[in-house]
Structure 1
C-alpha cells in the first residue's frame, strides 16, 4: 500500500485530476503523434516557444530535460504570449501567438478540451499543463520549486522500466503510466533518469485546495510578474528562488538522517 505524507500527496484528494487520468492514453497519443509527425520547424517552435525555460535548475551532466505545453498560469499559451508581450528572437509576438494556437488546434485538441472542461467546473484550478521529458542519463541537482501556492501532478505517459525516479526528502518515488504522482515541490528534491530511454509525463500544476483562493491568485500574480521580468521564457513556471538554499540541503540531509537512524535502530 502506497503511503502519503506532507510532500507526497494522495491524488484522490483532487478529483479534478480524474479527467486527465481518464484520458491519459488519448493525451499520450497526441504527444506521440506530434513527436513522430510534426515537421522539424514545428518541433523547433514547440521547444523554442511553448516550453518553460529555467536559468536556475541545473543538471549534473550534459543530459537535458525538454518541455513544451499549452497552458501557463491558467491561460492558453497563445493568449499568454500576448498578455505578457513576450518578444522572441526568431518570431514576432503576433506570429508566435498565431503559430501557438495553430499548433494547439492541430495536435492537442483533446488535451485542450480536458483543460477547458476542468477549469470551467473547478474555477480555473489548473495553472500549468506541459509535457516534460527526461532524456537518458538525466540527473538534476537538488533544488526546490518556489511554488507555495501550488501542487504539481505528474501523469505518467511514457515510463520505461528501470531507474527513473524522484528523490524527495528521504523517499525515492517512481512514475507509472496512467497514474498521477502529486508532490509539494517546496520540499528539496532531485529527479533522475538512469535508463537509455526517454521518460515523458504530463505536468499538471494546480492551486492548493486548502488555502484561500484569492490569496493564491494574488501570490501567483506577484510571483509571475517578477519571474517574467527576470526571464520571459520561463513562462512564469521557474524563477531565481527555485535554487536550493543551505537550509534546503540541511532539510534534505536531516530527512535522510532520520531514515538512517530508523533503519539502524538508533
Structure 2
C-alpha cells in the first residue's frame, strides 16, 4: 500500500485527474506521433515558443531537460502569447500566437479536449499542462518550485526501467506509465535520470482545492506579473524564487536526519 504525506499526495483525492489517467494512452500517442512526424521547422518553433524557459534551476553536467506545452496559467498557449504580447527573436507576437494555435489543433486535439472538460467542470483549476522530458544522465540540483498555491501532478507517459526518480525530503519516488504522482513542489527536491533513455511525463499544475479561489488567483496574477517581467519566455512557470535558499537545504537535511533518527 502506497503511503502519502504532506508533500507526496494521494492523487485519488483530486477526482478531476482521473480524466487524464483514463486517457493516458491517447495522450502518449499524441506525443509520440508529434515527435515522430513533426517537421524540423515545427520542432524548432515548439521549443522556442511552446517551451517554458528556466534561468534559475541548474543541472549537474551537460544532460538536458526539455519541455513544451499547450496550457499556461489557465490559458491555451496561443491565448497566453497574445495576452502578454510576447515577442520572440524569430516571431512576432501575432505570428507566434497563430502558429501555436495551428500546431496545438494539429497535434494535440485530444489533450486539449481533456483540459477543456476539466476546466469547464472544475472552475479553471488547471493552470499549466506541458510535456517534460528528462534526457539520459540528467541530474537536477536541489531546488524548489515556489508555487505554494498549486500542486503538481505527473502523468507517466514514457518511463523506461531503471534509476529515474524524484528525491524529495527523505524519499525517493518513481514515475510509472499510466499513473499519476502528485507532489507539493514547494518542498526542496532534486530529480534525476540515470538511464540511457528519455523519460517523458505530462506535467499538470493545478490550484490547491483547499485554498480560497480568489486568494490563489490574486497570488498567481502577482507572481506571473513578476515572472514575465524577469523572463517572458518562462511563460509564468518558473522564476527567481525557485532557487533553493539556505533554509531549504536545512529543511532538506532535517528531513533526512529525522528519518535517520527513526532508523537508529
Instruction: Name the TM-score, length of structure 1 as normaliser.
Output: 0.99
Q: Secondary structure at the match of 1:154?
A: strand
**How many positions carry a matched residue from both structures?**
264
1:56 aligned counterpart, secondary structure:
coil
Partner of residue 49, structure 2: 49
Runs of 4+ residues deviating >4 angstroms: none
CA distance in 2, matches of 1:156, 1:4: 18
Task: For 2:4 and 2:218, locate their aligned partners in 1 and report how far apart those are by CA, in whole Å.
Answer: 29
**Alignment partners' CA distance in 2, 1:92 and 1:21:** 36
The reply to whether residue 122 of structure 1 matches residue 122 of structure 2 is yes
Q: Write out per-residue CA displacement over residues 192-239 of structure 1, whole angstroms, 9 at most, x where no aligned residue.
A: 000000000000000001110000000000000000000000000000
Tell me the equivalent position of 2:63. Answer: 63
Distance in 2, Cα, partners of 1:225 & 1:105: 28
Alpha-carbon deviation of 1:13?
0.6
Provide the secondary structure at the position in 2 that maps to 1:58.
coil
Q: How does 1:131-170 map to 2 (within 5 A)?
A: 131-170=131-170
Alpha-carbon deviations, 1:80-102, whole Å to 9, x = none? 00100101001111110010000
SS in 2 for 1:137: coil
- Greater shift, 48-57 or 254-263, is seen at 254-263
What corresponds to 1:224 in structure 2?
A: 224
Where in structure 1 are there 5+ consecutive unaligned residues? Answer: none
Aligned-partner Cα distance in 2 for 1:98–1:83: 13
Q: What is the distance in 1 between the residues matched to 2:158 and 2:57?
A: 23
**1:176 match:** 176
CA distance in 2, matches of 1:4, 1:108: 32
State how far apart, in whole Å, the 2-side matches of 1:242 and 1:195 are: 26
* Equivalent-residue separation in structure 2 for 1:140 and 1:55 (angstroms): 13
Following the alignment from structure 1 to structure 2, what is the Cα–Cα distance between the partners of residues 2 and 122? 27
Unmatched 5+ residue regions in structure 2?
Answer: none
Matches within 5 A, 1:242-253: 242-253=242-253
In the TM superposition, what is the alpha-carbon distance from 1:46 to its structure 2 partner? Answer: 0.7
Whole-angstrom distance in 1 between the partners of 2:157 and 2:27:
8
Q: 1:194: which partner in 2?
A: 194
- Match for residue 98 of structure 1? 98
1:15 is aligned to 2:15? yes
State the SS of the aligned residue for 2:28.
helix
Matched, 1:76 2:76: yes
* TM-score of the superposed pair, with normalisation by structure 2: 0.99
Q: Does 1:85 align with 2:85?
A: yes
**Structure 1 residue 258, shift from structure 2 partner:** 1.0
Which whole-Å CA distance do the structure 2 matches of 1:63 and 1:18 have between them? Answer: 32
RMSD between superposed Cα atoms in Å: 0.4
Q: Supply the distance in 2 between the matched residues of 1:104 and 1:227 (Cα, whole angstroms).
A: 24
Matching of residue 2 in structure 1 with residue 2 in structure 2: yes
* CA deviation after TM superposition for structure 1 residue 155, in Å: 0.3
Give the superposition deviation at 1:261: 1.4
Q: What CA distance in whole angstroms lies between the structure 2 residues aligned with 1:170 and 1:45?
A: 39
CA positional deviation for 1:262: 1.4
1:63 Cα deviation after fit = 0.3
